[in-house]
Amino acid sequence: MAKPIPSPLYEKIPQKNTLHRASEVTIFFLLLSLLAYRLLSLKNNGFTWLLAFLCESWFTFIWILNLSSKWNPVSYKTYPERLLQSYRVDELPPVDMFVTTADPMLEPPIITVNTVLSLLAVDYPANKLSCYVSDDGASPLTFFALLEASKFAKLWEEYEELRRRIEDATVKSISYELSTADFVAFSNIKKGSHPTIIKVILENKESRSDGLPHLVYVSREKHPSIHTITKRGAMNVLTRVSGAMTNAPFMLNVDCDMYANNPQIFIIQCVCSSVPRMNRTAVSGIAGLQGPNYSGTGCFHRRKVIYGLWPDGRMEFKGRIGLSGISDCPYDLSNRVEAAHQIASCSYEYGTNWGTKIGWLYGTTTEDILTGGPAALIQQKRWATGLLEVLFSKNSPFIVTFTAKLQFRQCLAYMWIISWGLRPIPELCYLALPAYCIMAGSHFLPNVQDPGVLISISLFVSYNFHTLLEYWGAGYSIRACWNNLRMWRITAVTAWLFGFLSVILKLLGLSETVFEVTKKDQSTTPGEGSDKDSGRFTFDGSLIFVPATTLLLVHLMALVTALLGLFDLVGIESRIGEIICSVWVVLCFSPFLKGLFGKGKYGIPKSTICKSAALAFLFLACTITVRK
């Protein structure tokens, strides 16, 4: 009797998006109509009209990319209950889990421990799991925290006691521990100069499915004379070390401030669907093309794919990768440590394809919305910088479309993501136009009596309705939609602007981009902080806040001049559109307006206000000069 064909473990379901398509096409035609109107009336208007036309041309281009990316959305429905009906537990594939951290001060060890514990506790056979923690800071504090976490995982004692011990070690010192055998390797550590450290903290020697997964600490070698690639280099080291020790066919990488909140995530995502987990910010439309983009964390990968092979390709490592494959998952990890040390050295990759054709490719700072604050904006700056570096590199989607098997629409989808980094210039110019027109006595919008004003009004209403529809469909509130709309504006003229400038300086050979570790927040007590302050925008003395503060002050000055009738030659009614736009910009930057009067970390520092005020008055002086 023939063996019955097993039911599929997942199903790819096209999503109905008729309403969204209609909304997006409507906005597209309104954008084209606005461009046509501006082009036809360009001779009768001045510089502001031309600048608005150029900015709106960019917005139209971005909307075309957006339209193509979202046109065929799909979702994946998984059937985990069918898995064990078709396969035995011992037939499930092994998974290597990667957790990355770099600085115990910016990324407190208790956060890393929480991430590791959540991964060790997933609903999956323990003998099929291995967790590798990469510590780029080679910190004995991080290693101590993982040792304590391993004891906790064995006993599952009171969590508060575990947290207390780790936080006490963070505040005080663990120098007394350095004399023990476990900490000998950390005794002469210097920042940026230390040997490879690999420690097997937990080992499931008996291969018990109800035991604990392997837990391995990895700190790659660093030397002052050898340039160290940032997180991408750490990921490549983890890939090689795990290949030498456990060599699971699937890999999961997780940032140290993430955690698995679904214990069945491995069965649902990795085994059933066999596709990378999409980041929430990624659209399902990209999954309907050649698959979703790699979003930096929380993603499953096939090891073969990271090695540059097709999923059904043969594991031919010799020469090309410099690592001989391991056919089975070994259970005596201690015997593999010496080999792992060799491939974690800082000079190992020279003469190999690692970082160029194999593994995570080098050349950018990005890997991988938000309330706001310095840490969030630094992260956004790093993303914008990295995306632009990809755009101007040999791995640009346009180039890969011709040199590899990237489809044209998938190329457009990647361009839609990468274009975030190019957004700040047209966005900043367009945001400054209303204030400039008010103070210069010019205009960039059609007059109220002009029929063309209906195009602008329809476009504004349609776009915001479409955005609200998307957030509502995703289960978000109107307030969440408004907060994200504001943050897109704020991020564009702060983090993304500095990311753009960083890449320009790099292209000119004047500077190198730097990987910046963002500070991870933690609450040491359950009652720390207040609900009133939860999610509030925070500030510091960083220059990253100067452009947005300057823009806000410029618009406040413009509104004051309009209300007082200063520089008024043509009447306020002829610039009512610009005044409404200026009020809208002030509303979008309301966190900065509150920051002008806030205190402590919720207030903009006086030094930032002074710099911004000077730039705002300079803008006013230039406007008056042009007006004359």
473-501 residue pLDDT tens: 778 888 888 988 998 899 889 888 888 88
Mean pLDDT of the chain: 79
Beta bridge partners of 78: 10
Tokens 């975030």 belong to 420
Distances (CA, A) of 546 to 339, 598, 601, 611, 617: 50, 16, 16, 7, 14
Residue 273: its pLDDT value, please?
Answer: 47
Domain check: are 44 and 111 in the same one?
no
Q: What is the CATH number of the domain that holds 164?
A: 3.90.550
Residue 319: its pLDDT value, please?
Answer: 39
In a domain, 617, yes or no: yes
> What SS3 class is residue 494?
coil
Is 210 known to be catalytic? no
308-348 residue pLDDT tens: 775 555 554 443 443 444 444 445 787 888 888 888 888 88
Is 328 known to be catalytic? no
Domain check: are 25 and 105 in the same one?
no
232-249 residue pLDDT tens: 788 888 999 998 898 898
In a domain, 505, yes or no: yes
Domain check: are 312 and 196 in the same one?
yes
**Widest CA span in the chain:** 93
Residue 178: its pLDDT value, please?
Answer: 55
Under 8 Å between Cβ of 70 and 25: no
Q: What is the mean pLDDT of residues 601-625?
A: 91
Domain check: are 54 and 101 in the same one?
no
Binding-site entries for Mn(2+): 231, 255
CA–CA gap between residue 107 and residue 324 (Å, rounded): 35
Domain check: are 44 and 140 in the same one?
no
CA–CA gap between residue 429 and residue 567 (Å, rounded): 22
Domain check: are 60 and 146 in the same one?
no
CA–CA gap between residue 317 and residue 326 (Å, rounded): 10
The residue annotated as part of the active site, out of 368, 450, 540, 568, is 368
134-167 residue pLDDT tens: 998 888 899 989 998 888 887 766 777 788 888 8
Tokens 């007059």 belong to 447
For 81, the enclosing helix (H) or strand (E) is none
Choose one of 318, 343, 368: the last residue of a domain: 343
The yes-or-no verdict on residue 280 having pLDDT over 50 is no
Choose one of 326, 343, 360: the last residue of a domain: 343
Residue 85 — pLDDT band, cuts 50, 70, 90?
confident
The yes-or-no verdict on residue 523 having pLDDT over 70 is no
Residue 295: its pLDDT value, please?
Answer: 66
> What SS3 class is residue 618?
helix
Q: What is the mean pLDDT of residues 429-445?
A: 91
The yes-or-no verdict on residue 616 having pLDDT over 50 is yes
Q: What number of residues does the chain have? A: 628
Residue 432: its pLDDT value, please?
Answer: 95
Choose one of 321, 343, 365: the last residue of a domain: 343
Q: Residue 452 corresponds to which tokens in the numbers above?
A: 């063309």
Distance, CA of 234 to chain centre: 17
Residue 594: its pLDDT value, please?
Answer: 92
Distances (CA, A) of 214 to 124, 150, 332, 405: 13, 10, 10, 37
Domain check: are 170 and 289 in the same one?
yes
185 or 66, which is more confident? 66
CA–CA gap between residue 584 and residue 577 (Å, rounded): 11
The yes-or-no verdict on residue 192 having pLDDT over 80 is no
Domain check: are 57 and 85 in the same one?
no
pTM of the complete model = 0.78
Report how many domains make up the chain: 2
In a domain, 200, yes or no: yes
> What SS3 class is residue 229?
coil
In a domain, 525, yes or no: no
In a domain, 311, yes or no: yes
Residue 617: its pLDDT value, please?
Answer: 94
Binding-site entries: 107, 136, 231, 255
Tokens 């292209």 belong to 507
Domain check: are 63 and 118 in the same one?
no
E-state strands within 157-302: 197-202, 214-219, 250-255, 299-302
Could you tell me which of 489, 480, 470 has the C-alpha nearest to residue 535? 480
Domain check: are 97 and 58 in the same one?
no
Distance, CA of 334 to chain centre: 36
542, burial (CB in 10 Å: exposed 0-12, middle 13-18, buried 19+): middle
In a domain, 383, yes or no: no
132 φ/ψ angles, rounded to the nearest 5 degrees: -110, 125
In a domain, 116, yes or no: yes
Could you tell me which of 298, 299, 126, 116 has the C-alpha nearest to residue 217? 116
68 φ/ψ angles, rounded to the nearest 5 degrees: -65, -40
The residue annotated as part of the active site, out of 96, 135, 136, 257, is 136
Q: Residue 13 corresponds to which tokens in the numbers above?
A: 């379901």
Residue 5: its pLDDT value, please?
Answer: 57
Domain check: are 197 and 66 in the same one?
no
In a domain, 218, yes or no: yes
Could you tell me which of 423, 355, 419 has the C-alpha nearest to residue 387? 419
Residue 628 — pLDDT band, cuts 50, 70, 90?
low
Domain check: are 66 and 112 in the same one?
no
Tokens 């610039």 belong to 575
Domain residues for the domain of 169 are 81-343
